[in-house]
Amino acid sequence: MTALHLLRVARVKPDISPVGHGDGHAAGGAGAIEGQNFQRVHEGFGHWHRRDNAGKLVLMDIVPIAPPEFDVDVALAYATPANITGQPVYRNARCWLRRTAAQHLQRAIALAAPLGLRLRIFDALRPTEAQWMLWNARPDPEFLADPRRGSPHSRGVAVDLTLLDRAGCELDMGTPFDAFTPRSHHGDISVSVEAQQNRLLLLGLMTAAGWDFYRNEWWHYQLFDPRRFPLVADADLPERMM
């Protein structure tokens, strides 16, 4: 079975959709928290609440992704100038996911470990303000979600990642992270056979762990139906990233 056939039979839920069908406030309240100020209350590991405008405490199930709880290598690309903006987007290089996504990440970690592989995370939860910075630098809907609709990253349920071998070296995926080119698409056969195999290995690990993929980016994985989760602004986080 070819790589292209595997992708045709897999379920695809893209990171983006056409502009004009924005999140608004109808998609499960998505977007309702963006830009508002909340009081953050810590109640144990990963349990944070925000106080909405009516004074009601709402659970923010945000989990920090870092060793030793998560055996991953965190290398947030947007905490460095080596990204499409040419400057650091994140002032505080903290990696967060919603608890549900973090549980799926643990499954992927467990599946990769017997193969002598680890995950390197380039990005995870991306505050709405960061999505605007990326969009303003390069408003390319083939690779970036329009921030007016919201990215799964800004909902805390997406990760950008690659695989590391036993020596801690990245497997060849054919293109670097955030290479906005058709060569980054799943099923692209212009990259080497080794890169195609590595992409399919990552695809297999992540889909077996319950993640959906985005066909234009070999590095991007997200939970199914991400719009059921509201957007997260920088002020909503336990510790600000920006």
215 within 8 A of 187, measured Cβ to Cβ: yes
Of 129, 170, 217, 239, the active-site residue reads 217
- Which tokens in the block code for residue 156? 């805390």
Q: Which residue type occupies 217?
A: E
Is 69 labeled as catalytic in the residue annotation? Answer: no
Q: Which residue type occupies 196?
A: Q
The closest of 62, 133, 34, 120 to 91, measured between CA atoms, is 133
224 within 8 A of 10, measured Cβ to Cβ: no
217 within 8 A of 210, measured Cβ to Cβ: no
Alpha-carbon gap, residue 179 to 183, rounded angstroms:
8
Catalytic residues: 217
